Structure 1
Amino acid sequence: MIMKTHLSLRSIVVALPFLLLSGCQTVKAPEPVLPVPQEKQVNWQKMETYAFVHFGLNTFNDREWGYGDSDLQTFNPTRLDCEQWVQTFVKAGMKGVILTAKHHDGFCLWPTQLTEYCIRNTPYKDGKGDIVRELSDACKKYGIKFAVYLSPWDRHQANYGTPEYVDYFYKQLHELLSNYGEVFEVWFDGANGGDGWYGGSKEVRTIDRKTYYDYPRAYRMIDELQPQAVIFSDGGPGCRWVGNESGFAGATNWSFLRAGEVYPGYPKYRELQYGYADGNQWVAAECDVSIRPGWFYHPEENDKVKTVDELTDLYYRSVGHNATLLLNFPVGRNGLIHPADSLNAVQFHQRVQAELANNLLATAKINASGERGKQFSTLALTDGVYDTYWATNDGVTSADLTCSFEHPTLINRLMIQEYIPLGQRVKAFVVEYKQGHQWLPVKCNEETTTIGYKRLLRFETVETDQVRIRFVDARACLCINELGAYYVAGSQENYQPAVAELKSLPFTLLGVHEEELAKCRDKQEQTTCFIQGKEFVLDLGEEKEIQTFYYLPDQGEYNKGLIASYELSVAGSDSNFKTITTGEFSNIRNNPILQKIYFTPVNARYVKVKAIRTIDGEDSIGLAEVGVQ
């Protein structure tokens, strides 16, 4: 009997390791669902927010798109301090900065030997300056990443449009990628061809933007010299333009494009806000926006800096819509970021941190309708570890997460993150809260479809002891790596549009009915007066001294009837018109903000504006607001 017991115990001891192993067998992780990001694309999206800097000759000549004819002697920032820039970015939570090393005017912020139109021929540091170097060094000192913007378009170079210019462009790119350390992104502007001076002759040069720049050559060079860098352009391949310069992505936002379809200057660019659900290439969206109306510094915009409320709203609609936020700082003529810009950027970061600081789910109980195994349980949803995630079994594309609180809790924010190294999956979800015995949907002003890297949802405050996230449909089994619920007291203030402060002399528009006329002088961005033809005349009623013309283009989704280049004429009561200025509204397609034309004061009763060219060749002009002073 004793022997029998001994053998029985021995059998148990021998078998125990095998029993333990069989009970802890590793459950196989979900297979990736294509397309999936490269590791560098995941690291790039984790940055979330980073800075843009537009600085150059345009800064000193009050331009957005210089023609390449500005006097080099005008470039002389007397207090330039790249460390002040970077310290601002650090305090504002930015993880890196992209510098416009060369904008469309062709002026180079580094002392290249490839052109005389560069910083070594300016008064700055007696020609010994190198702002690309100074900013790169400051980034290293304060521990943020550095990147470069190099405009493919060049309105200064006389050989633009020829094969020789393309070689010149790649020599510039090689210098930037070889001499300034590691860069996290290379930014190629989609605005990359058109009219300019081109060595002194103002003309339009037509290029094929799909082929002229030979972008595959750029990709090879970047892969060789800066393999960790993500390449930006309208269609990537590393990250894509979001299709607007207002700083937001669509609530539905896929990180996919169809390979080879989108190119710089792509005419259906508004689609880029949403990506393509059937795309076969991972190209997540980047939301570029300026903290001021313009991209370069203009002193009259010192009181037009985006407020903390506006910036916070953009964070939710960019990072919170599966994109990154690239916030531009127009450095001033003294070489410093203006205090108003710095203050609002820092306070915006503090606001976001405060709103998302207290995850109410950290102490809640989270139950799932199903899970893949213990390695993929709901514990991963609030552990703060990026590479752990809750997952469902293969083929399970709908499931519920029910979050229970110990007592009724106020909630008006929700954060969901998918584990994107395995692909973007969720196609639709619903957020509900328990009221009595009923589940009710939260009241939200946007569709709940895609998630991706991060989805931040704002909704009317509810008080409840249970919240449920129902994943309705997905491309494959679910992989969710973070979940958060928050409460933010109060509501964001509404901001006044720029036109609210526009002061204009009284006027009528000749030939325009009073009802239609009211739409362009009511100080409402949402109403637009459409003029047939390509010119219109303002009648001030009597001769008055004027010196400024204002024009806010149509602010509708498709921005109809945008004036690209113009001719402005005035006349007295005799109606004999005299041209006083011509020019362009730079970048108006992508940034349709309030436009201003300043001229020498003149007495006039009539002001005539002729659209020499409209953006899409329309035979009509859209005026959300217009005026003269």
Structure 2
Amino acid sequence: MKKVILLALLLAGSKAWAQPEIKPVGALPSAAQVKWQQLEYYMFIHFGPNTFTDKEWGHGDEDPKVFNPSELDARQWARTAKLAGMKGIIITAKHHDGFCLWPSEYSKHTVRESAWKNGKGDVLAELSAACREYGLLFGVYLSPWDRNHPAYGTPEYNQVFANQLREVHTKYGDVFEQWFDGANGEGPNGKKQVYDWDLFEGTVKKYHPNVIFFSDAGPGCRWIGNEEGYAGTTNWSTLNRADFKPGMGGITQILNKGQEDGTHWVPGEADVSIRPGWFYSASTDNKVKTLPHLLDIYYGSVGRNANLLLNIPVDRRGRIHATDSTRLMELRRALDEDFKLNLARKARIATTNTRQNNPMTSAVYLTDGNYNTYWATEEGKTTGDITLSYASPVTFNRISVQEFIPLGQRVRSFTVSVLEGKEWKEIARETTVGYKRILRLPMITAKSIRVSILDAKASPVISEVALYQAPELIADPIITRDKEGMVSIKTESPDPVIHYTTDGSAPTTASPKYDNPFAFPAAGTVTARAFVNNGQKASATIIRKLGIAPVGWRVLTPGAEAAIDATPRAWTTKENAYPAELVVDMGREQPVKGVSYIPNPRGGIVYKYAVYLSADGKEWGKAVAEGTFANVQNNPIEQSINISSSASYRFVKFVALAPANAEDTRVSVAELVVY
């Protein structure tokens, strides 16, 4: 008997992925895609002229000498990523402005023309070397849109871009991921390019055949459909690739969920920035995402069968800012605590419908910590229970389930239940699993926990089940203000004491205590923090910049009252509305230093705009500000417009000139804010 058991263990330890006893189902991942999925979490770095010009999308006409980091240290980037628990770094080697972070032979808009190191520098060389030193994977983002190159918009440009890809993929060692942005705007000659994706992909694969391509259509991995970092609660890793191409509109919801019977394996990657924008700006130093927010993102990406690509923008020194690195270390410590002890390792495991007479599939493999071993139901059985039992009750609030994806993604739905007396109580009901599904639950104490597979495309093949007790954090305070200028502050944590300030300082337990809404109609800043245990434990400090409260304001544009009502409602026009005007009467003259447009994420997003001011509502003069909101379609956050004026005005006119999505010609304003 001992010899039989030993033989079974040896076979389990050395077995190939796809066993003949279990038939693969649907589209399958390549070996490279499986390794990529196991990375789970890595760093994005946006860096370039935009870092020095405070822009999200440069126009390509900036002087390359503006790029001049004073203390660039790629080893600091890599060291920070390593300490944060990240597995690699992807950098914007070339963004839409066309500026190359390496001295490309095929452009005159590169580090060679910059002031940095007198034109002798090469960011990619320094970063790739740093990644090798710290054991990190190296990846590159190259935008095919080039707002600087004179050949852009002509057939010749495709070969220029292919040549740049060849440079990057032959000079800097192995590249694990090639990130393609589907953005396709006008170049310096006013023309758009017809991209030759087959040429681009073929060029890269010649040198790195196992590279993972990112785009809306893969083929290696796909955009998750938003830039907030959240995959769908249902998330299939398969997609009908022939129906998609980079940059096409109207597909965000499909990309967020995937397609159950997709023809190709194209798993999701959730890209999100630790700051509101993608490039560094000093104005966002106090807007770095809080620890609870980052944890939400982690569980909404890695915990929903996607990889997390977290952007950490390098500052003008050429270093990761202290605030960002500090937050990353907080996240690393929190995740280490969340997954410190797998309680499932101590459980007795019982299963139903287990595949018989097959030493390769067993319930014991569910908690052995080896992804390449698994439990499976009998052929044709698409349901089954996994029960964890304990001699004494255990307390937990996280449960993780993993499918063995080399045999395909199978699970359509599952539940989690606990035994209360003699009855099972359902505590969670979800859909897909995929490579990894992590559920965040209320703190629960039980002696028996059951995971029930309710439906699957074929016999479920489950690699791991894990159970954890994660520390509970204090939820971030939420600051809101109504139309009458009354500020409210709340938090979801039980029994918190909230303290706040209105002078920009960080709240302490000596600051004013929040009990009821208070009046704050002027433009300014409200800062709040929640405390528990007599002030011994505190939440993150939340800062809310507020414009002028619209007390007594009138909207002169018919039907547009929702644009200034300080609620989630939005003013939305019918189709074909451009250009459209939103005119507001503030009731009295007052200085105006800026205007903010808050987009409606449900559509009608404005790209090109103009702002006018008037004292009497009749004489408007020239626009005091005009331009475009870069990347607003994918990142629909508040868009700030600075105005340089010492005069006072009573009337504000916001003019929508062009849509962010050519297929959506409505104009929508969730809120127009005046500072």
TM-score (norm 2): 0.84
Mean CA deviation greater in 527-536 or 343-352: 527-536
Match of 1:587 in 2: 631
Show the counterpart of 1:194. Answer: 185
Could you tell me how far 1:218 is from its partner in structure 2? Answer: 2.1
- State the partner residue of 1:599: 643
1:427 to 391, 404, 412: 412
AA in 2 matched with 1:318: S
2:204 aligned partner, one-letter code = I
Q: Helix, strand or coil for the counterpart of 1:371? A: coil
Asked if structure 2 preserves the Cα contact closer than 8 Å seen for 1:254 and 1:274, the reply is yes
1:610 aligned onto 2:655: yes
> Deviation digits for residues 439-492 of structure 1, max 9, x if unmatched?
1110x4xx5111010000112222211011110111111111111011224355
Aligned to 1:296, which of 270, 275, 279? 279
Task: Specify the alignment match of 1:371 in structure 2.
Answer: 354
Residue equivalent to 1:245: 227
Amino acid at match of 2:86: M
Q: TM-score with structure 1 length normalisation?
A: 0.90
Q: Percent identity?
A: 41
For the pair 1:549 / 2:591, whether they are aligned, the reply is: no
CA distance in 2, matches of 1:513, 1:462: 53
Does 2:333 correspond to 1:322?
no
Cα deviation 1:159-203 (Å, max 9, x = unaligned)? 211111111111100000010000100000022x1235x1xx5x4
Equivalent position of 1:5 in the other structure: none
Write out per-residue CA displacement over residues 281-314 of structure 1, whole angstroms, 9 at most, x where no aligned residue.
0000000000000000111110110111111111
Partner of 2:472: 490
Q: 1:250 to 1:261 in 2, by over 3 A?
A: same
The more displaced of 447-456 and 594-603 is 594-603
> Unpaired segments of 5 or more residues in structure 1?
1-15
- Which of 449, 453, 456 does residue 474 from structure 1 map onto? 456
Distance 1:21 1:547, change over 3 A: closer
Cα distance in 1, alignment partners of residues 225 and 398 from structure 2? 26
Tell me whether 1:168 sits opposite 2:212 in the alignment. no
Conserved 8 A contact 2:633-2:661: no
Residue 563 (structure 1) aligned to one of 606, 611, 631: 606
Aligned to 1:138: 130
Structure with more of its chain in helix, by fraction: 1
| RMSD of aligned Cα (Å) | 2.4
CA distance in 1, matches of 2:48, 2:564: 34
Q: How does 1:286-435 map to 2 (within 5 A)?
A: 286-372=269-355, 373-435=358-420
Given that 1:382 and 1:482 are in contact with CA atoms closer than 8 Å, whether structure 2 keeps it comes out as: yes
Report Cα offsets for 1:497-526 as digits up to 9, x if no partner: 799723223443533589x6366352x5x3
Counterparts of 1:153 and 1:545, CA distance in 2 = 40
* Aligned with residue 277 of structure 1, among 242, 253, 260: 260
Q: Matched residues in 1 for 2:660 and 2:200: separation?
A: 29
Residue 530 of structure 1 is matched in structure 2 by: 572
Question: What's the offset of the Cα at 1:259?
Answer: 2.7
- The 3-state SS of whatever aligns with 1:456 is strand
Closer, same or farther in 2 for the Cα pair 1:434/1:520, shift >3 Å? Answer: farther
Q: Secondary structure at the match of 2:443?
A: strand
Q: Compute the displacement of 1:531 (Å).
A: 5.5
Which runs of no fewer than 5 residues in structure 2 stay unpaired? Answer: 13-18, 482-542
1:455 aligned residue = 437
d(CA) in 1 for partners of 2:282 and 2:565?
25
Distance 1:571 1:426, change over 3 A: same
Partner of residue 33, structure 2: 41
Query: Relative contact order: is structure 1 or structure 2 higher (C-alpha 8 Å, sep ≥ 6)?
Result: 1
Q: For 1:519 and 1:356, how far apart are their aligned partners in 2?
A: 44
The residue matched to 1:376 in structure 2 has which SS?
coil
2:504 counterpart residue number? none
- Aligned pairs, number: 594
Please show how residues 55-70 of structure 1 align to structure 2 within 5 Å. 55-70=47-62
User: CA separation in 1, counterparts of 2:229 and 2:29?
Assistant: 23
Deviation at 1:552, TM superposition (A): 1.3
1:112 matched to 2:104: yes
Q: Check the 8 A contact 1:239/1:283 in 2, yes or no.
A: yes
For residue 241 of structure 2, give the secondary structure of its aligned residue in structure 1: coil
In structure 1, the partner of 2:556 is 511
Name the SS of the counterpart of 1:342 in structure 2.
Answer: helix
- 1:554 and 1:17 map into 2 onto residues whose CA distance is 66
Q: Please tell me whether the aligned partners of residues 568 and 580 of structure 1 are also in contact (alpha carbons under 8 angstroms).
A: yes
Task: Give the greater-gyration-radius structure (CA).
Answer: 1
> Do the aligned partners of residues 623 and 17 (structure 1) sit closer, same or farther apart at CA in structure 2, a change above 3 Å counting?
closer
Match of 1:101 among 93, 96, 101: 93
- What residue is the counterpart of 2:616 in the other structure? 573
* One-letter amino acid matched to 1:610: V
Equivalent position SS for 1:451: coil
Task: Give deviations 1:3-56, integer Å, cap 9, x for gaps.
Answer: xxxxxxxxxxxxx999x999x999953121121100000001100000000000
Give the alignment partner of residue 76 of structure 2, picking from 65, 84, 87.
84
CA distance in 2, matches of 1:128, 1:59: 20
Q: Distance in 1 between matches of 2:49 and 2:480?
A: 26
Is the Cα contact below 8 Å between 2:37 and 2:435 reproduced in 1?
A: yes
Q: Which moved more, 1:80-89 or 1:371-380?
A: 371-380
